[in-house]
Structure 1
């Protein structure tokens, strides 16, 4: 890990530099790729402040701690960085493999419960039926404005295809229509 230690309003100390580097070297095992760490150690009145910006591939961590001793500030800072790295790794692990596994488990459960699978699906889905007739886009806009819904499904009279008219957050209207 490439480490830069900067001192503000405090005399530079090789023992503090080596202490910070020793603490940061433990994170090399946790990180997947080479990382850069910029550590700023400063003193304001009686507060000893340790601040870090750690950059690694797609991960960027910024943390700041203060206490009455510089060594305890560094220790608290490293604990905070460790927890942020673990949190990020768990998030990536959950995102990459958790969703796939939950899909596999869900389909296996549905397959094993053949008799009650129809009840599970219909209990989770609210089915609404609509009557739609061929109409122009202008008529669909009038229908959308008259109702309380944020979208309106209709059969376009010109193209004879199913279209969806919806309201954007900025007040404009959007139209979804199939290609072809």
Structure 2
């Protein structure tokens, strides 16, 4: 497991880094290799915040906790991640998504529209290319929950079509599917 630590508004602590690395070893029983974990230690006045982002093959999850003790925050955030990964692994066993490993590449563009009168055409600010992994709708919902995202672009495992899953304001989910002719 590759662990990247970042210290914000505090001095680097080898003891704290070693403690987090030791505790991160317990999540390896839930996910496949290779695993990369990013650990952010932040101090804001009296709050000690630990945020952990874990990337593994096919799954990304993140969680954060804030307490008055950095070591307690590490324990709490790892408990939260462990619960998320355990729930994810159990749901995968129940749903058995398609084993189709080829995903589609989707390009995402961010447009800037400062003034519609002054500039009639929006300007592309950034472009990001991602792979739309094949998965079932239920697995896409789990990925959105784990990533704390408002939408997810994925390839439907059954049809192979690109779909968009989004979180509605009422807390439910919406699914955009392409129209078949």
Aligned partners of 1:175 and 1:55: how far apart in 2? 34
Q: CA offsets per residue over residues 29-82 of structure 1, 9 Å max, x none? A: 221222100000010010000001100111110111000100010000000010
The TM-score normalised by the length of structure 1 is: 0.53
Aligned twin of 1:50: 50
1:158-177 to 2 correspondence within 5 Å? none
Q: Secondary structure at the match of 1:34?
A: coil
Larger radius of gyration: 1
Aligned twin of 1:78: 78
Aligned partners of 2:83 and 2:180: how far apart in 1? 46
The TM-score normalised by the length of structure 2 is: 0.53
Q: CA offsets per residue over residues 90-135 of structure 1, 9 Å max, x none? A: 11011019xxxxxxxxxxxxxxxxxxxxxxxxxxxxxxxxxxxxxx
Aligned partners of 1:175 and 1:84: how far apart in 2? 36
Aligned partners of 2:62 and 2:29: how far apart in 1? 19
Whose helix fraction is larger, Structure 1's or Structure 2's? 1
Aligned partners of 1:3 and 1:60: how far apart in 2? 14
> Mind listing any 5+ residue stretches in structure 1 that lack a counterpart?
98-173
Aligned twin of 1:115: none
Whose strand fraction is larger, Structure 1's or Structure 2's? 2
Question: Hey, which bits of structure 1, 4+ residues long, moved more than 3 A?
Answer: none
> Mind listing any 5+ residue stretches in structure 2 that lack a counterpart?
98-178
1:1-180 to 2 correspondence within 5 Å? 1-96=1-96
What RMSD over aligned residues (CA atoms) do the two structures have, in Å?
1.7
Preserved CA contact (<8 Å) 1:28 1:34 = no
